[in-house]
Structure 1
């Protein structure tokens, strides 16, 4: 009797910059004989430029948000994120009860995925789809360097010294730190990510980088096991076997 096929649930936030790298990770895992269930919000899934052929080793699942579309200009973003958490958590629990998963991988802005996975004693791994340097900035901002970053935000000429990073100025920070920030939920959600990671011993974080390029930034986050898996992008720009483009139809119709 052969070994059961490993099954991984990959949950990503419904945004193009998260869907594409997540699909690239899924593609790599499938090559190693892993079955991947790709889960995102129905609003994004319904717009994805999915291929007509079935990809062996890949299946899809969705959770409800604004299934018919989401208008950033008129929607209440805080309400949207709260609904994303509520509906997503419920759908995730139902899916886990139906299907055996060996591991859950979740993207940025979805810390509740890790909490649900723990309810079922399933290992959860955080996927960071940006460079390690950006991860390090957020990490240091919650680990004793809050005042340094506050000074940098208030004074454009102030030079910030953070572990594992070159000297930084205000324009080097993630835009979510710079007022006015319409996405006020981002920083608290990032903090929640780190709080969840801190509950584990040496948790593994998959980072969209190459170790040799950002070794200092990765070593500065010694509390976590940062694993470079980048670049999470197609080796062939014309490769479309996985689809994933949620804006293609909109662009072609414009």
Structure 2
């Protein structure tokens, strides 16, 4: 029989302090909620560990807490609290409400030309470089985890982040190896796809047949060179600093 975990209901008070407002999302390791901290009256993110496969999930939650404590950056959520309720770990983090690229492009009809897309990437790279400099790789730089509030970029969700000193787990597919290897290159690869998403916002299809991005997007030689290296089609970048220099050249 499969064990199904029910999320907290709206209005539930957790640990005598945090009132659940809404379920934000659910991952393989836990459930995330928007909650109100009854002491500070601020909204926070409350993350609840799932109880199945407890040992592995506990280790993941403890690592995430450790990573967030190590990072102190205005564009990364702060860890406020961690506690255990009947053997279930909980983390309380800063709630950063903003727009993802999906919201900006599909709901607010924002488009990005080459220069704008690379400028935005440069903003994200400054945060990611800080993460790498602290010996950490994010490993989940997908569109939902990069948000914008008042023109400022934030990097969220360190649930899959690892210390660069850790050993790799078994990765079975090429895509897993490209995105999940404990190496700065996996973050750069993910950001290559983030950049492609931005560039496609201003693309107007001219044919029914889908082609590769190199055929579809009208890019400068410099932009193409950077993207090919980010996506590991050519010699991969060894560091964000190296990539950032080439991104600056594209912006001009």
The TM-score range, normalised by the shorter chain, is under 0.3
Q: Which has more radius of gyration?
A: 2
Task: Give the structure with the larger strand fraction.
Answer: 2
Structure number with greater CO (CA < 8 Å, separation at least 6) is 1
TM-score of the superposed pair, with normalisation by structure 2 = 0.27
